[in-house]
Amino acid sequence: MSIQSAKSEHKLAWVTGASAGIGRALALKLVREGYSVVVTARSHEKLVDLQHEAAGDGRITVLDGDVTDPKDMERVLAAIEYDHGHLSLVILNAGVAVPVRGDDLHREAFEKSFAVNLNGVVNCLLPAVAHMKAQGFGHIAIVSSVAGYGGLPTSAAYGASKAALINMAESLKFDLDRIGIRLQIICPGFVDTPGTARIRFPRPALVTSEQAADRIIAGLKSRRFEITFPRHFTYAVKLMRLLPYSLYFALIRRLTGVVTEAREAKKHAGSGEHRRQAV
C-alpha cells in the first residue's frame, strides 16, 4: 500500500529523525496530507514543539527514542501497534553527518556514523517489516543521500553509510515486493539542514528542508523506487560514476574546491618556509 492508495483509516505514519531538518518538515507535510504521524528522535523537547506546531492541522504523537538501541525501537513499534493499530507508512530518516579528513582520522566518526545511519535504520526496519508482513501491507522509505553514489571529500564515514543503505534497499526490494511491502530509497542532493551546514565545500543545487519534504511527498505518491532531487544535479553525480577514476577525482576536486584548498595550503606552507629562511 502506497501513500497514494492508503485508506483514511490506515493513514498512520512513523517518521524517525523528526526533531529537525527533513524529518521535521516531512512530519508537518504528512499531517497536512491527512496522516496521523508518530515522530521519533532523542530530543523530547523538540518533538513536543513539533507536536504543538502541528496541532492546528492534525495529530502528531511523540514517542522519543534512540535508533541506535534495537530494544528501544522494538518498544516504539510495539507502542504504535498497541495505541494506533495498523502502520501504513514508515520513513527512516534519522542520520548524522560527521566530517572525516583522511589526514586526521578518528574511529569515533565512523562508529557514530554507522551506528546511526546504517544500524539505526536496521533497528527500525526489522520491527517495521515484521509488523507490515503480519498485516499484509505497508510502505517503507529509507533516506540515503547523493553522497552514497560516490566518494566526496570529508564524507568517508557518511558516504559509506549512505551507500550501504542504497545497496541494502535494492537487495531487500525483491523479497519485500513479494510480501506486499513497498520499499523506496530517498537520495536527496544538498539540503540546508544543521548537518550539512558543517560541510566545508560548496553545496550546489541547495534546497530547503521544506522543498525537500515536498519532493519526497510527491515521490512517495509515484511508482518510482528511487526518489532523488534536484534531478539535474543528482543525475549528473550518477553519470560521473561512469567516468574513469582519473577524471572522476579531478572533477570532484574542482567542483568541491579541494584543488583551491590544497593550493592555498601549499602557498601558506611555502610562505612560512620563506619566512623561516629569511630569519
Active site residues: 158
Take residue 47 and report the three cell numbers written for it. 518533538
Q: Do the beta carbons of residue 252 and residue 244 sit within 8 Å?
A: no
Q: Do the beta carbons of residue 251 and residue 243 sit within 8 Å?
A: yes
Cα distance between residue 185 and residue 37, in whole Å? 20
Tell me the residue ranges of DSSP E strands in 144-272.
181-188, 191-192, 207-208, 226-229
Cα distance between residue 66 and residue 138, in whole Å? 23
Q: Do the beta carbons of residue 31 and residue 54 sit within 8 Å?
A: yes
**Three-state SS at 19:** coil
**Three-state SS at 139:** strand
Q: Do the beta carbons of residue 272 and residue 278 sit within 8 Å?
A: no
Return all residues near 66 (Cβ < 8 A) that are at least 6 apart.
42, 72
